[in-house]
Amino acid sequence: MEYELPEELRLLKETLRRYVNEVMIPIERETCEGVKLKSEYKKKFDEDSKRLGLWLLDVPEEFGGQGMGVLATCIVTEEMARSIALPTRGGYFTGPNVRSILYELDDEMKEQYLYPVIRGEKKACFGQTEPDAGSDPGSMRTTAVRDGDDYVINGVKRFITGAGEADFIQLMAATDRSKGSRGGISCFIIDMNTPGVRLGAQYETMMGDRPWEIIFENVRVPAKRLVGKEGEGFKLGQRWLGAGRLRHGSRALGVAERCIEMMVSYAKQRVTFGKPLADRQAIQWMIADSYIELHAARLMVYHAAAKADSGEDYRMEAYIAKYYSDEMAFRVADRCLQVHGGIGLTKDLPIEHMWRQQRSTRITEGASEVMKMVIARGILRQYD
């Protein structure tokens, strides 16, 4: 059994560790305006990414990317997450966020949507969540009704990240509400300037980003805007969410790694009542627990990613990795904050930012409880 990363990924990891330490961490508190990367830093990081040969890392070769595997992508995400220089959402170092649904489009639609996204000319958002359908998309109320050569769409989507700047939306809508997520949901590509599409409320979140509500009122689109077949939408969406879960997992690894580095370094420096914090058992246990949990999470994420790369079904491992890593990194960030005391609460250090972001990951893209529900379902099927 092989527990080491392949040599080339170890080298890549070392290179990125150095890059993040030397280039990103020294400027990490000044790169963003709110949750958006300032344009001068976006330009710099894009150039650096190209120079490091990481641009379009996970985009398949047939679409002009490098076609690197899930494990390689996880390594990049992990190392980049050690710094808060890049925004948590939408600030990918390796280029535009190309969602895999777009690879399923026919050639004409690829020209219209996939390639412009890869070139950075168009932006997409993903619309699944609704006021009464979050982790249970089967109960969504947004409907798409076939009418001749068109579909007519009505409903409301909520918490849609990036809707304000998106050119189009990958929309999940019910084509047969009686079937729910088992064949009742379809995926559509809809331009945001289509008549009847309207941005509603924008929410302020603790993470700093401001997702939107989108309202669809008698939106009429040609039937060719349907991706794949009717009823396949949930399946297509899940494929993307699977990769997203490992992105969560690997992000958490980087955050926890940095928090442990900071925690240890501060515990050695800070003297209270005549002794460094590092000599206190209460602090030592926090450090030990964090290290143990990070180690476990890393094995889970790498294992799931390696399984994905070998073409096996890795859904169960991805649920486990997402659940455990996101929970783990929040605990580690919390301990790191606690060890730092008052200074940890300030914006001079990246801890409060990591803590807030990490708190949100226990909810976004599959809440921890839903992960456990799905994991339990798998276990119940597995044993008599």
Partner 1 sequence: MKVLVAIKRVIDANVKARVRQDGSGVETTNVKMAMNPFCEIAVEEAVRLKEAGKATETVVVSAGAQQTQETIRTALAIGADRGIHVPHDGALEPLAVAKMLKAVAEREQPGLVLLGKQAIDDDCNQTGQMLAALLGWPQATFASKIEIDGDSATVTREVDGGLEKIAVKMPCVITVDLRLNEPRYASLPNIMKAKKKPIDQIALADLGVDPAPRLKVLKVAEPPARGGGIKVETAAELVDKLKNAAGVI
Q: Which position has the token pair 């390639």?
A: 115
Contact 57, 73 (CB under 8 A): yes
- Joined together, the tokens standing for residue 373 give 């529900």
Contact 269, 276 (CB under 8 A): yes
CB-based contacts of 243, cutoff 8 Å, min separation 6 = 70, 73, 100, 308
Q: Which amino acid is at 183?
A: G
Per rule CB under 8 A, count of chain residues that contact partner 1: 16
Compare residues 66 and 100 and give the one whose CB is closer to partner 1: 66
- Joined together, the tokens standing for residue 316 give 């169960």
**Residue 15 near partner 1 by CB under 8 A:** yes
**Residue 8 near partner 1 by CB under 8 A:** yes
| Alpha carbons within 13 A on the beta-carbon side of 63 | 25
Shortest Å, Cβ 11 to partner 1 = 5
Shortest Å, Cβ 72 to partner 1 = 8
Contact 374, 319 (CB under 8 A): yes
Out of 230, 257, 365, 369, the active site residue is: 365
Shortest Å, Cβ 113 to partner 1 = 27
Shortest Å, Cβ 26 to partner 1 = 15
Compare residues 66 and 112 and give the one whose CB is closer to partner 1: 66
Per-residue binding letters, 24-63, with partner 1 (x by CB under 8 A): ---------------------------xxxx--x------
Shortest Å, Cβ 283 to partner 1 = 19
Binding partner 1 by CB under 8 A: which of 11, 145, 376, 379? 11
Choices 13-21, 36-44, 221-229, 305-313; region in contact with partner 1 by CB under 8 A: 13-21
Residue 30 annotated as catalytic: no
Per-residue binding letters, 64-93, with partner 1 (x by CB under 8 A): --x-x-------------------------
State the DSSP code for 277: G
Contact 155, 172 (CB under 8 A): no
The residues facing 173 across adjacent strands are 186
Choices 10-18, 202-210, 213-221, 270-278; region in contact with partner 1 by CB under 8 A: 10-18
Shortest Å, Cβ 48 to partner 1 = 8
Compare residues 201 and 292 and give the one whose CB is closer to partner 1: 292
Q: What is the DSSP string of 310-344?
A: TT---HHHHHHHHHHHHHHHHHHHHHHHHHHTHHH
**Residue 18 near partner 1 by CB under 8 A:** yes
**Residue 100 near partner 1 by CB under 8 A:** no
Compare residues 53 and 64 and give the one whose CB is closer to partner 1: 53
208: left (phi over 0), alpha (psi -120 to 50) or beta: left
Compare residues 37 and 76 and give the one whose CB is closer to partner 1: 76
Shortest Å, Cβ 123 to partner 1 = 25
Compare residues 57 and 321 and give the one whose CB is closer to partner 1: 57
54 burial type by CB count under 10 A (0-12 exposed, 13-18 middle, 19+ buried): buried
Pick from 378, 375, 337, 328: nearest CA to 355: 337
Q: CA distances (Å), 11 to each of 34, 61, 177, in order? A: 33, 22, 50
State the distance between the two ends of the chain, measured CA to CA, in whole angstroms: 29
Residues of this chain that interact with partner 1 (CB under 8 A) are 7-8, 10-12, 14-15, 18-19, 51-54, 57, 66, 68
Catalytic center residues: 365
